Amino acid sequence: MTRLPAFLLCISVSLLMLPFIPGSTASAVTLDGSSRSYLQTRESGGGSRLIPGYEYLDLSAGDLAGEAVSVHFGGWARYDFEQENAKSNIQYAFVSYRRKEDNTLVDLGRVLVFEGVAAAERVDGAYARTDLARNFSLSAFGGVPAETGIDLPGASIIYGARLSHQLPDLYRLGISALREEKNDDDFREEAGVDLWLRPLAAVELTGRSNYDSVSRDWMEHSYYLSIAPLDKFRFNTEAAWYRYESLFRTTTTAALQFGPGLLDPNETATILGEEVAYTATDRVSVFANVRLYSYEIAGNATSFGGRINYSQGRGNAAGLSINRVDGDDARLQYTQYRLYGSRRFGKITLAADLIDVEFDENTAGDNNAYSASLITAYDLMESLRLGADVEYLNSALLEDEVRALLKIIYTFGFKFGGGA
């Protein structure tokens, strides 16, 4: 659901305000962007051939009013040449005003919000943030939620805020809340705490805890600790807990909806993980990891393994990994092997990726699944890259399938006016 009128109204009002912004001058205008075009061929689940084409476009126009105002746009379009159907979506489109003195930022249009409990919200409306006295910062947003892939009934508004305090290079602590009303009813009400802490140069802790006020239960606790006691060693620890009913109850993304074969609202998940990273040389790194999964419904599982990475920089790299999964479900009892590498020859880059999964039991007609990919890229010029990928897959669900992908990636930047 694109809700075009809401964000187009915000964009129009913002553009009309440009002449009244303090400091507006006839300076040079910059235009930067990227275009990523893809053409893929693959089989559908029913065996028919799909030939979708994708276009991802990102644009930014800056220096519209003495470096204070800029305009940003990002969207994608898809067309299937075999099925002859099309789809498109505007990811973001907003006018941004920035003031350097107090780090003030105001965005109007279809905005992206990453503030505390609002971890990845798309809103047709406004977003603003500013620094306050004594190392406090405040941000707020409001508008109409932009839904992705679904069309929930009823009219909605969403708004929220985050207050944070920090001591540079030591900690940043934030408290946040959001509320979404649908047909004047409380559809969504959440609050959260987020933390970044670095008590020592070699110790860093990040995490968040979010609470769902409608269901009156916690949504998630997720924390990550990184410790580097020696120059060549780093320990990364993960501890997380998720309650699906609270976490995904009001999601506006179709892929995260409850239903048969999808997410079970009664599920809870606890994840504990540890990774040890060792930098053997400037080019060789070794990793070992273990993760413990505990699901209330799906049961428990343990994952452990390791990998070796070799890198010379500039696209020259190789690696090997082995990962073992042991779970209560037979589908979670397997060993995965991966071998990959890339090499650059002037303007040409070649890469290969081999993955093999060996299941302990024959759960779906085959106890082995594997894929092989060949990736090529050619830098026609500094701003233009052409590429082609070929992938072969074989499993119980995808037998002898070949997929191909053509890529054209173009980045550009222009400057207009300013007497230049």
Q: Which of 36, 65, 100 is the last residue of a domain?
A: 100
Phi and psi, residue 259, nearest 5°: 155, 170
- We report the CATH number of the domain holding residue 391 as 2.40.160.10
Asked if residue 80 is part of any domain, the answer here is yes
Distances (CA, A) of 265 to 6, 9, 219, 244: 32, 37, 12, 5
Q: Are 350 and 340 in contact (CB under 8 A)?
A: no
- Total domains in the chain come to 2
Q: Are 304 and 322 in contact (CB under 8 A)?
A: no
Distance CA 389, CA 384 (A): 17
Q: Which of 80, 100, 120 is the last residue of a domain?
A: 100
Distance CA 386, CA 408 (A): 5
Asked if residue 44 is part of any domain, the answer here is yes
Type and span of the H or E element at 158: strand 156-167
Asked if residue 43 is part of any domain, the answer here is yes
pLDDT digits (tens, 9 = 90+) for 357-394: 999 987 656 688 999 999 999 999 999 999 999 999 99
Q: Are strands 233-243 and 268-279 parallel, antiparallel or unpaired?
A: antiparallel
Which among 56, 53, 72, 55 is positioned nearest to 64, based on CA atoms? 72
pLDDT of residue 9: 52
> Is the model's pLDDT at 416 over the cut of 70?
yes
Domain that holds residue 62: 1-100
Asked if residue 252 is part of any domain, the answer here is no
Torsion over CA of 130, 131, 133 and 138, rounded to 10 degrees?
60
Question: Number of C-alpha atoms within 13 angstroms, CB side, residue 268?
Answer: 11
pLDDT digits (tens, 9 = 90+) for 246-297: 888 666 554 445 454 556 788 899 999 999 999 999 999 999 999 999 998 8
Which among 371, 374, 376, 395 is positioned nearest to 386, based on CA atoms? 376
Q: Are 246 and 265 in contact (CB under 8 A)?
A: no
pLDDT of residue 354: 98
Neighbours of 66 (CB within 10 A): 13
Asked if residue 165 is part of any domain, the answer here is no
Asked if residue 386 is part of any domain, the answer here is yes
Question: Number of C-alpha atoms within 13 angstroms, CB side, residue 394?
Answer: 9
